[in-house]
Chains A and B, each alone.
Chain A
């Protein structure tokens, strides 16, 4: 250590330089600063996309699923896709500013808007926007101050799935995974994400009206505590939490899980693999998700991004993606283009009364989304901490 001084100085200098370099990007730009685009010009020859698995297929997983190459041929925009596994990953990738567009779900959209990472979308520049179901336009999770922040892509509900051979009578209420969960101790499953707190809030909204929950994403401190208490009780009966859908398919097939939340696509996959399962929309309604293609505020290839937005929700492509992924398409005309004519019926695509019972994922923010002004609501960071506590 005698000769360490010059080294020490060099190390300190290097660390400080790194810290300063890393630190300069993160100023708190409060949302809505970026302006929407006025025209779509010639393509830049490239577009960088963040997508859910299955949303930007180029035929490499399944030769029949390819809507990237036809797009490249038509527009000359080469597509670079980054597949993200979770909403949190999407948010952090968008913060790098290296991507043009993202297929964000409702638990990420408001975070992206608030951080100023995405720009409002000029829907006039996306001709196919006309045919999007009205139930998806200008919703609290994809718009702000009367401005649309993306193009809706598809939607689905978080259903209740159960094994018909193990769970009887057939459940029609979320009670099966909350107050009635002890009957299936160790075989109950739930979605592994802080946003699952909303499922408990939705159940409390119906079963404990005294709490005054109006919107499962607008919880004040007392309401959040009640939901947390319910989820901590549920944890005793949980076998495992799931986050990737293949994991849930195998759990239901093997009998490790017999009742819990699911997506329609999981129920279909499990049933196709001969698992005796059924999925229902319980009487309390359900939470759900709706994805929106958003454009980065720092997009390097905005023209190609707009071309992609219009392409991915065009009737034919929207139908292809919806069928491949297993969701309700956003474009009303897509229902005529699906290979399986029953697809839209199975996913209730044009059934607005069905989706009125679905509370789409929204990022919880301090300003209560249900319009209350006299209290402060809990934000997503608090939900995340609560989720850690629930899992123990």
Chain B
């Protein structure tokens, strides 16, 4: 940037504009534009015979969604699963990230980091199908639980939570790990010098430092779970989530599918607003 200081301001601004124009165009036209078109088409309707979209303005689709009990059930189930996945990931990530950042050293720490990152290299479908095999009637989960007189969850809602929590766990560990690593050691020492015990230090020093990272990670786990529809097809048994309902309507009734997809968008926006109020987005 020091070179630009001597140039005329207009030229510098021109360059900056040229640099920013393509990504901004992409963001506005391709990214936000397509979302806007999607939401716009939620106000259209469909010719029941040809299933072509008819451009007549109507709010019937939204009324349908609000008044049909099954959509409410599915939306609540999807929300519940997303919350459960997020909580489970937070519970797993906290001790794991703490151990990696503050306890383990040298090779062990690197090995753990690699272990967390490696699953990201394998394809989503490969991992989901691996879980399908493990959770099956004669799969390893039942085999391990059988001596204890227990039976695995089989395919269903519990399996969906389990597999989604597995799939998104790295997205929770990584930000929490980064936050804990940034935490200066002398802050912990100072806390101890001032007479705080472990619990007090955790509550007053570690927790405030981790909270934004935890919330940032939860944005990933929550929104990714909300939009998922493949995992539930693979291990969901007879359950369906919002994504499946949207997919089943897309070719036949695009406006209804568009209206339905406004539901997860609205949920994510609400969640982001709540997270922003909590201050987790300030450091982004």
1/0 contact trace for B28-63 toward A, CB 8 Å?
A: 110011101100100000111111111100000000
A14 to B253, CA, bound (A): 25
Q: How large is the interface on B (under 10, 10 to 19, 20 to 34, 35 or more residues)?
A: 35 or more
A residues in contact with B51, CB < 8 Å:
91, 111, 115, 380-381
Chain A residues with a Cβ closer than 8 Å to the other chain, count = 47
Min CB distance A104 to B, Å, is 13
Min CB distance A126 to B, Å, is 27
**8 Å CB contacts to A: which residues of B126-141?**
132-133, 136-139
Segment of B11-19, B215-223, B233-241 in the binding face: B233-241
Contact A240 B248 (CB under 8 A): no
A388 to B229, CA, bound (A): 14
Contact B50 A31 (CB under 8 A): yes
Contact B70 A28 (CB under 8 A): no
Contact B253 A23 (CB under 8 A): no
Q: Taking the complex as formed, is B263 at the interface, i.e. its CB lies under 8 A from any CB of chain A?
A: no
Contact of B28 among A14, A31, A89, A389 (CB under 8 A): A14
Contact B49 A365 (CB under 8 A): yes
Contact of B70 among A88, A250, A389 (CB under 8 A): A389
B residues in contact with A52, CB < 8 Å:
none
Contact A240 B136 (CB under 8 A): no
**8 Å CB contacts to A: which residues of B245-266?**
245, 248-253
Contact A27 B136 (CB under 8 A): no
Contact A240 B236 (CB under 8 A): yes
B residues in contact with A28, CB < 8 Å:
47, 50, 52, 54
A342 to B233, CA, bound (A): 36
Contact A391 B139 (CB under 8 A): no
Q: Taking the complex as formed, is A366 at the interface, i.e. its CB lies under 8 A from any CB of chain B?
A: yes
Q: Taking the complex as formed, is A229 at the interface, i.e. its CB lies under 8 A from any CB of chain B?
A: no
Contact B70 A392 (CB under 8 A): yes
Q: Taking the complex as formed, is A36 at the interface, i.e. its CB lies under 8 A from any CB of chain B?
A: no
B residues in contact with A251, CB < 8 Å:
136
A365 to B47, CA, bound (A): 12
Q: Taking the complex as formed, is B198 at the interface, i.e. its CB lies under 8 A from any CB of chain A?
A: no
Q: Taking the complex as formed, is A92 at the interface, i.e. its CB lies under 8 A from any CB of chain B?
A: yes
Contact of A391 among B37, B50, B155, B240 (CB under 8 A): B240
Q: Taking the complex as formed, is B73 at the interface, i.e. its CB lies under 8 A from any CB of chain A?
A: yes
- Whether A19 touches B40, Cβ cut-off 8 Å, given contacts A89-B251, A111-B50, A392-B73, is yes
A27 to B50, CA, bound (A): 10
A15 to B73, CA, bound (A): 33
Q: Taking the complex as formed, is A138 at the interface, i.e. its CB lies under 8 A from any CB of chain B?
A: no
A251 to B233, CA, bound (A): 13
- Whether A115 touches B52, Cβ cut-off 8 Å, given contacts A250-B132, A384-B248, is yes
1/0 contact trace for A109-127 toward B, CB 8 Å?
A: 0010011100000000000
Q: Which residue on A lies nearest to B135, using beta carbons?
A: A256
A22 to B41, CA, bound (A): 10
B residues in contact with A31, CB < 8 Å:
50
Q: Taking the complex as formed, is A34 at the interface, i.e. its CB lies under 8 A from any CB of chain B?
A: no
A residues in contact with B49, CB < 8 Å:
30, 114, 365-366, 379
Contact A380 B55 (CB under 8 A): no
Contact B240 A388 (CB under 8 A): yes
Contact A256 B52 (CB under 8 A): no
B residues in contact with A343, CB < 8 Å:
none
A388 to B137, CA, bound (A): 27
Min CB distance A82 to B, Å, is 15
Contact A381 B55 (CB under 8 A): no
A23 to B53, CA, bound (A): 9
Residues of B bordering A, CB below 8 Å: 28-29, 32-34, 36-37, 40, 46-55, 68, 70-71, 73-74, 132-133, 136-139, 154-155, 233-234, 236-240, 245, 248-253
- Apart from A91-B251, A256-B155, A387-B248, what 14 extra A-B contacts exist at CB < 8 Å? A14-B28, A15-B37, A18-B33, A26-B52, A27-B52, A29-B52, A240-B236, A250-B133, A250-B136, A255-B138, A380-B252, A389-B70, A392-B70, A392-B73
